[in-house]
Structure 1
Amino acid sequence: MNAGGEKNGSSVPDEEWDRFLRESVDGTPDAPKEPSARARIVARRLRDEPAEPTPWRTYTPARPKRRTGWYLAGLVAVFALLLLALAPGQVSGWFTGEADHGPIAMESARPQQPPPSELAQRPTLDEPFKGSPAERWADGTAGITMPAAKATGWMSEAQVARALGRSRDFLAASSLDAGVLRGERPAEAIALINPHQRDVEDFLATAFRAPTAENDPLLLFSRFDTTRTRLVGDVVKTRGRITYREGGKGAVQVSTDVTYVYPVTRAAAGSDEIIRTIVRREIVLSWDDPAKVITERDTASLVSYKVDMTNGGCDDHTGGYLIPEFGAGQGSARPSDAPEVDPYDRSMSMTDLLRASPDGECVTASRS
């Protein structure tokens, strides 16, 4: 072959030369591709929401609890009197201890309405979920509804079951692990993420080295600064579900939508003021066909993630930790005209929930 691209006396057509250059850069059509969370979320956005440009990583700053004072107490009193008139037996059970406070049914689909208001009761060290809907939620992974596995995409039924289990393992390792909650590096969770996603690897490296609002560990992991805050007890209440479908290139795409409730108090010894930090995350993972996407065994590619936080610190400078506000500090960083959102309301999609906070501003939580 000479310098002009000829072989055996014949020149290479322009269209063949162009195809050769494209494949040299992109790889051959059948070669496994390196997954990219940015490319994946952009592709989904263009397909599902072509008129709404949203970032591939969606983040809303923390939402502080609103101190509603006597206004809320008055509403509770009116509500209690109404119930006393309509269902005196049930109301009397609240005072005799005979009312049903057992766990509620698992969440099989998005609820149609938020959970009912609870009687105003102050949480205690022994009962940190008292006075909140989470009191009847399940503990840890028991509150996450798992679907039945069936053969999907490139996976058999058994493989789908394993992928679902590993997806739940990721949620446990990222948002329930005791060490991670104390601020340790979430090594087990990171080990479940496809290491060939260069943009995700860069995000993780930056998030733990020099966290910012855009590169914040809290987007994926729950972490508290133990010099300021300590968890009350060893139970985290959860409610949510996992679903799946066939994704691109025959992958099994797993969607998770879970709300976590963390009761916390000040780190100082003897502190007994308890508040609850509430985090809802929607994380989508893709279990890719290794014949089509560069991946490692038992790892998933990160497709997208969204997070909404209440009582976790209402600014962009929390240093990668949830920073609850106690006492008079609650709501101090919130604009006076901020909209109000119920952090326990799972009838609202994450997209709509994040839209309730315009331009990423803090909003008011109606309860904690």
Structure 2
Amino acid sequence: MSDEEWERFLRESVTGVPGAPVEPSARAREMERRQQERPGEPEGWRTYTPARPRRRTGWYVTGLVVVVALLVVTLFPQRVAGWFDGDDGGQDGAPQAAESERPREAPGTEPDLRPTLAEPFRGSPAARWADGAAGITVPPAEATGWMDTAQVERALRRSRDFLVAAGLDSRVLRGERPTKAIALLNPHQEDVQEYLRTALSSKAPSGRTDPLLLFSRFRPEQSRLVGDVVKTRGRLTYREGRKGAVEVTADVTFVYPVTPAGGGGRDGEVVRTIVRRQVVMSWDDPARIITEPGTLTLVSYALDMTNGGCSAPTGYFVPPFGTDDKQDTDEAHRVDPYDRSKPIDTSGGTTATGGNCATATRS
């Protein structure tokens, strides 16, 4: 080999021969493989492809459902409440919301469960009602008639106090004199004072002088309350009455679970006496009506009751234990004692008892 050929060999060994094939790198081979699998523009070594935005269709649908539900609750509150009323039937059900207006229909049906000494309200809509005075709704006060807002608030509170003293006081329930309730009545209202004298002293009151028209009473030798809870549901309303008076109307249902006195009931017998009262009270302007401060004038009072006795008035509720007080009832006149969607029939006058002893569809 000549010196010129040797020098050319060394030079081509370092710089390479023009046109000679070149072995591709590992990344080049990988890019070629990807290009064959996914034809199109090659992806650069340091390029970035942003992720596609996620669709939020699920959130939009959820939001729409919530808006529709809120609209239904706003427009039809009573109907929505009815969907949840009465389905549980037991004492494990959620408490029912307070009654702020007259319901449109009776509460739903309950499982056919007998009341017991341990669960006296079992199988009854009252299982979800409030206890005692808590079940009587008092509306917000506003200046009305001769009273300012504070005076109306006081009148509403004392109106409820009268209902509590007349229908929930434990001593009155045992047949004692309703002293606290009487103290709230206008002593100058002669017809009411005469009614009280006759009703609370007579051993055989008439329908119009029956103390049960205003006061809940049981003979202690005949029956006793099961526990110390009376379930209630109802409300107060008010408006301006005659001569600027503030007229308060109470419409309340009381549910009294009772058992025979002395434990004489068969298998722990429990009967629920259900009483609905409508009482209209007038808080008169002392400048225009003769009255005493802090007392009310009775305008009217009416009563509906179930399991309280079908015989002649005795001045006490007579629960039908066993075969007691099994008097013929009006089968054509069937009533639901828990239905508060209809007013009490007061066609008999200001002190009406609601007519004949009807047949209750449930207790």
User: What TM-score, normalized by structure 1, do the two folds share?
Assistant: 0.70
Q: CA deviation at 1:269?
A: 2.6
* Partners of 2:250 and 2:279 within 8 A in 1: yes
Counterpart residue identity of residue 304, structure 1: S
In the aligned structure 1, how far is the partner of 2:337 from the partner of 2:355? 16
Aligned partner of residue 161 in structure 1, secondary structure: helix
Structure 2 residue corresponding to 1:345, chosen from 326, 330, 339: 339
Residue 164 of structure 2 aligns to a residue whose secondary structure is helix
Q: What is the aligned-residue identity percentage?
A: 60
1:287 to 283, 289, 314: 283
Find the residue that maps to 1:323 and give its secondary structure: coil
| Secondary structure at 2:249 match in 1 | strand
State how far apart, in whole Å, the 2-side matches of 1:256 and 1:360 are.
20
Matched, 1:102 2:98: no
Distance 1:353 1:142, change over 3 A: farther
Partners of 2:92 and 2:264 in 1: CA distance:
32
The CA deviation string for residues 289-329 of structure 1, in whole angstroms up to 9 with x for no partner, is: 00000000100000000100100010223x20001011234
The offset of 1:362, in angstroms, is 1.3
1:242 is aligned to 2:236: yes
8 Å contact 1:256–1:283 — kept in the other structure?
yes
The whole-number CA distance in structure 2 between the counterparts of 1:345 and 1:354 is 21
Any gaps of 5 or more consecutive residues in structure 1?
Answer: 1-89
For residue 169 of structure 2, what is the aligned residue in structure 1? 177
User: Map of 1:269-280 to 2, 5 A cutoff?
Assistant: 269=263, 271=265, 272-280=268-276
Change (3 A) 1:353 1:296: closer
Asked if residue 304 in structure 1 is aligned to residue 300 in structure 2, the reply is yes
2:277 corresponds to which letter in structure 1?
Answer: R
Which amino acid in structure 1 is aligned with residue 279 of structure 2?
I
Cα distance per residue 1:78-105 (max 9 Å; x no partner)? xxxxxxxxxxxx9xx979x9x9602111
Shift, 1:122, TM fit: 1.2
Q: Structure 1 residues 301, 220: CA separation in 2 closer, same or farther (over 3 Å shift)?
A: same
Q: Deviations over 1:260-284 (max 9, x none)?
A: 0000000023531001000000000
Bigger radius of gyration: 2
For 2:255, which of 256, 261, 271 is the aligned residue?
A: 261
SS of 1:351 mapped into structure 2: coil
- CA distance 1:252–1:358, shift in 2 (3 Å): closer
1:185-233 CA distances to partner (integer Å, 9 max, x unpaired)?
0000000000000111000000011122220100000000011000000
Q: Report deviation, 1:335.
A: 3.4
Distance 1:186 1:176 in 2: 10
Q: Cα distance, 1:338 vs. partner?
A: 3.8
Q: Once the 2 structures are TM-superposed, how far is the Cα of residue 360 of structure 1 from its aligned partner? A: 2.7
Paired positions, count: 272
1:321 maps to: 316
| Structure 2: distance between partners of 1:101 and 1:354 | 39
Instruction: Establish whether residue 121 from structure 1 lines up as the match of residue 113 from structure 2.
Output: yes
**Deviations along 1:100-126, whole A, 9 cap, x unmatched?**
602111111110100011001111111
* Of 124-133 and 267-276, the range deviating more from structure 2: 267-276
Q: Does 1:137 align with 2:129?
A: yes
Structure 1 residues 189 and 94 mapped into 2: Cα distance closer, same or farther (>3 Å)?
Answer: closer
CA distance in 2, matches of 1:236, 1:242: 18
Whether 2:144 is the aligned partner of 1:152: answer: yes
How far apart in 2 are the matches of 1:204 and 1:349? 25
Match of residue 228 from structure 1 = 222
In 1: Cα distance, 2:329 partner to 2:216 partner: 25
Work out the CA distance in 2 between the residues paired with 1:284 and 1:172.
Answer: 15
Q: Give 1:64's aligned residue.
A: none
Q: Which residue number corresponds to residue 35 of structure 2?
A: none
- Per-residue CA deviation, residues 111-143 of structure 1 (Å, 9 max, x unaligned), is 010001100111111110000000000000100
Contact preservation (8 Å) 1:338, 1:362: no
Letter in 2 for 1:147: P
Return the alpha-carbon distance in structure 1 between the equivalents of residues 88 and 248 of structure 2: 41
Separation of aligned partners in 1, 2:110 and 2:347: 22
Q: Provide the residue aligned with 2:355 in structure 1.
A: 360
How many angstroms apart in 2 are the aligned matches of 1:353 and 1:199? 19
Equivalent-residue separation in structure 1 for 2:237 and 2:154 (angstroms) = 14
Deviations 1:152-207 (A, max 9, x none): 10001000000000000000000000000000000000000000001110000000
State the one-letter code of the partner of 1:326: F
SS in 2 for 1:209: coil
Runs of 4+ in structure 1 displaced over 4 angstroms? 352-355
Q: TM-score, normalised by structure 2?
A: 0.71
Which one-letter code corresponds to 2:142 in the other structure?
Answer: K
Q: Residue 335 of structure 1 corresponds to which residue in structure 2? A: 329
> Residue 159 of structure 1 aligns to a residue in which SS?
helix
Aligned CA-pair RMSD: 2.4
Larger RCO (CA under 8 A, 6+ residues apart): 1
Letter in 2 for 1:125: L
Q: Distance in 1 between matches of 2:102 and 2:354?
A: 26
Would the alpha carbon gap of residues 253 and 336 (structure 1) be closer, same or farther in structure 2, given more than 3 Å must change?
closer
